[in-house]
């Protein structure tokens, strides 16, 4: 049943969108919703304001306060402009860079934002066409910009669009600037948005920036001699209708690879993503066509990027001849193993080199770092925290790689966000290196497990909708904090890390230590005596609570791999049942 008070509030908000502040097309759309006997769409479009969060905006496109449109995007850009003018008041010129992906309305929103920045006296560098997110991050640094934005909803379904804001180091914005920008955005009303700027302040970027970026991408290569020997490696790549089509094949060719196969249907740039339900390389359905092409040509590696080309999906051929997708932990593991191994082998590994992973990512990465005397940092989920570590140690320590379990990796610091362009090129080099040693990427993963220990990871979402759902999720976190499980999967609980209090406690000895993080976060982690790790955190953007499971083991030979994998899966299932998930 619809609450009449909510409906009246929504109608009043909708009526404000029927004034001359809004264009005729928007007013017509609002009138259509008001006239509809079913008020569901009207309520969903106006019951709240689309929140500008620490990562920017993301939402369904359409008219309304809870939708992505030129007015919600405009308010974000006006608020960001206001903050930039306060923060950089002493600069003679404030500069921003703008990129956009393949999504419907991305170009419209980017051009609208460019004019708003210009109307506020801010110099704008706007890409002439869709470009990968990592190139936008690179351009901010290359041009000495104070900020930048990209219009993208990453791997969300076609109904969505989004707006990500960046700071002068090319990273997504962190504290205190994130909260300060949110405050400025919340003050902006539609009538405050300056839509019509001086277009002489807008410079269009094109091939020149692409070429500079690709030259930097080439520096990511560690073993160019291996690429020369294996230049005809069979590579399948798909952009899944997105921006990767612009630069990833070019990056592979720049590395020296000559045998690149595409999926023609998915090279079609389209915000409707006609061949997939969701353009997410984490999902087997999104990789299906590329893996079929891989099987057809007997590829050495199959790769995909999401619509804004920051996430990388990798599929490898197993010992049964089937292509299987590496999970995000395995992908990051392969990258870190290769980078450290090759740098060590060539004498390039230095005492001040370091890597970064997120706290929910596999502990095997930390093990590889420890055994090779490489410093590593654990950070909260999100590449802005990886970038923050780089910024903190700029000029003192040397970043050599970092990643997280959600299919993101950043192999160099000339980009300060997930980078599928550089990552696809480097992953192809890793496949060439494996082939040069007479093994497949799949066998390479197994060999890492043989050397450093086995791990198996899974993630589980628990969705709870509405206000009652949010309260239930909150109570789940309270219960876990106050009554942690005594054992998990038959192994005693040993360590609890609470990132809200920043306290690590050894349950067996009672010892406590301070966790080294700048800020707190509503995350709990449980570690058992046998190396099992469980991370629990509510989603910051959706009505979900996320559980990350990692089970450790010992692999004695490749022949034991499937048996060990099955045992780990059974153990994770048992723990899920124990936690009533």
pTM of the model: 0.95
Mean pLDDT of the chain: 95
- Band of the pLDDT at 232, cuts 50, 70, 90? very high
Where is the domain boundary, 148, 177, 205?
205
CATH of the domain at 194: 3.40.120.10
- For residue 476, is it within any domain? yes
Residue 154 among the catalytic residues: yes
Interval 174-218: pLDDT, tens: 989 999 999 999 999 999 999 998 999 999 999 999 999 999 999
Looking at the structure, tell me whether residues 351 and 429 fall in a common domain.
yes
Distance of alpha carbon 101 from alpha carbon 406, whole angstroms: 20
Complete DSSP assignment for 161-230: EEEEEEETTSSBP-TTHHHHHHHHHHH--GGG------GGGEEEE-HHHHHHHHHHHHTT-S-HHHHHHT
Looking at the structure, tell me whether residues 74 and 137 fall in a common domain.
yes
Where is the domain boundary, 402, 436, 452?
452
Where is the domain boundary, 205, 227, 246?
205
Distance of alpha carbon 531 from alpha carbon 527, whole angstroms: 6
Residue 144 token pair: 């000495």
- For residue 38, is it within any domain? no
Which residues span the domain enclosing 523?
454-578
- For residue 19, is it within any domain? no
Specify the number of domains making up the chain. Answer: 3
Q: What Cα–Cα distance (Å) separates residue 214 from each residue in 60, 102, 136, 245, 306?
A: 33, 20, 13, 14, 19
Interval 505-538: pLDDT, tens: 999 999 999 999 999 999 999 999 999 999 999 9
Interval 84-111: pLDDT, tens: 999 999 999 999 999 999 999 999 999 9
- For residue 43, is it within any domain? no
Interval 112-165: pLDDT, tens: 999 999 999 999 999 999 999 999 999 999 999 999 999 999 988 999 999 999
Give the single-character DSSP code of 559. G
Looking at the structure, tell me whether residues 197 and 319 fall in a common domain.
no
pLDDT attached to residue 1: 47
Residue 78 token pair: 């006006």
| Torsion on CA atoms 210, 215, 220, 225, rounded to nearest 10 | 130
Looking at the structure, tell me whether residues 164 and 270 fall in a common domain.
no
Looking at the structure, tell me whether residues 61 and 171 fall in a common domain.
yes
Looking at the structure, tell me whether residues 427 and 539 fall in a common domain.
no
Looking at the structure, tell me whether residues 377 and 445 fall in a common domain.
yes
CATH of the domain at 484: 3.30.310
Catalytic one of 110, 154, 171, 455: 154
Looking at the structure, tell me whether residues 140 and 163 fall in a common domain.
yes
- For residue 13, is it within any domain? no
């Amino acid at each position: 049943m619809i609450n009449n008070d909510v409906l009246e509030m929504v109608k009043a908000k909708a009526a404000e969108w029927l004034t001359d502040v809004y264009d005729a097309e928007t007013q017509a759309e609002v009138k259509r919703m008001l006239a509809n006997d079913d008020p569901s769409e009207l309520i969903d479009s106006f019951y709240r304001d689309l929140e500008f969060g620490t990562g920017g905006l993301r939402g369904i496109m359409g008219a309304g306060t809870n939708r992505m449109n030129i007015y919600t995007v405009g308010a974000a850009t006006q608020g960001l402009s206001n903050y930039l003018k306060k923060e950089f008041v002493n600069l003679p010129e404030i500069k921003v860079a703008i990129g956009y992906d393949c999504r419907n309305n991305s170009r419209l929103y980017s051009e609208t934002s460019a004019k708003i920045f210009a109307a506020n006296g801010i110099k704008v560098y706007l890409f002439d066409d869709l470009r990968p997110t990592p190139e936008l991050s690179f351009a901010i640094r290359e041009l000495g910009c104070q900020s930048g934005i990209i219009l993208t909803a990453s791997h969300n379904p076609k109904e969505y669009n989004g707006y990500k804001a960046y700071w002068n180091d090319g990273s997504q914005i962190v504290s205190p600037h994130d909260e300060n920008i949110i405050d400025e955005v919340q003050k902006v009303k539609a009538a405050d948005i300056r839509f019509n700027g001086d277009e002489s302040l807008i410079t269009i970027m094109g091939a020149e920036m692409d070429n500079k970026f690709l030259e930097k991408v080439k520096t990511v290569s560690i073993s160019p001699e291996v690429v020369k020997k294996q230049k005809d490696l069979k590579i399948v790549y798909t952009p899944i209708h997105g921006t990767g089509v612009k630069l990833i094949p070019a990056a592979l060719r720049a590395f020296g690879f000559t045998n690149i196969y595409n999926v023609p249907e998915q090279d079609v740039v389209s915000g409707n993503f006609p061949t997939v339900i969701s353009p997410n390389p984490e999902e087997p359905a999104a990789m299906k066509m590329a893996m079929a092409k891989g099987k057809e040509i007997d590829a050495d590696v199959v790769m995909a990027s999401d619509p804004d080309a920051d996430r990388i999906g990798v599929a490898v051929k197993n010992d049964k001849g089937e292509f299987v997708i590496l999970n995000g932990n395995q992908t990051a593991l392969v990258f870190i193993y290769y980078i450290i191994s090759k740098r060590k082998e060539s004498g390039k590994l230095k005492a001040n080199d370091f890597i970064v992973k997120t706290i929910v990512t596999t502990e095997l990465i930390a093990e590889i770092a420890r055994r090779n005397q490489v410093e590593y940092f654990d950070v909260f989920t999100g590449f802005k925290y990886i970038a923050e570590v780089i910024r903190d140690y700029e000029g003192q320590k040397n970043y050599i790689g970092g990643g997280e379990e959600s299919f993101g990796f950043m192999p160099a610091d000339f980009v300060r966000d997930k980078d599928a362009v550089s990552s696809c090129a480097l992953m192809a080099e890793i496949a060439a290196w494996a082939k040069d040693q007479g093994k497949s990427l799949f066998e390479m993963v197994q060999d890492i497990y043989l050397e450093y220990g086995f791990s198996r990871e899974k993630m589980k979402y628990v969705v709870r909708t509405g206000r009652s759902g949010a309260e239930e999720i909150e109570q789940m976190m309270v219960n876990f904090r106050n009554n942690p499980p005594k054992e998990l999967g038959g192994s005693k609980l040993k360590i609890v890390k609470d990132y809200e209090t920043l306290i690590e406690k050894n349950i067996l000895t009672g010892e406590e230590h301070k966790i080294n993080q700048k800020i707190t976060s509503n995350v709990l982690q449980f570690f058992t005596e046998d190396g099992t790790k469980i991370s629990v955190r509510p989603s910051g953007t959706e009505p979900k609570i996320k559980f990350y499971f990692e089970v450790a083991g010992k692999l004695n030979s490749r022949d034991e791999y499937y048996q060990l994998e099955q045992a780990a899966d059974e153990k994770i299932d048992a723990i899920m049942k124990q936690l009533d998930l």
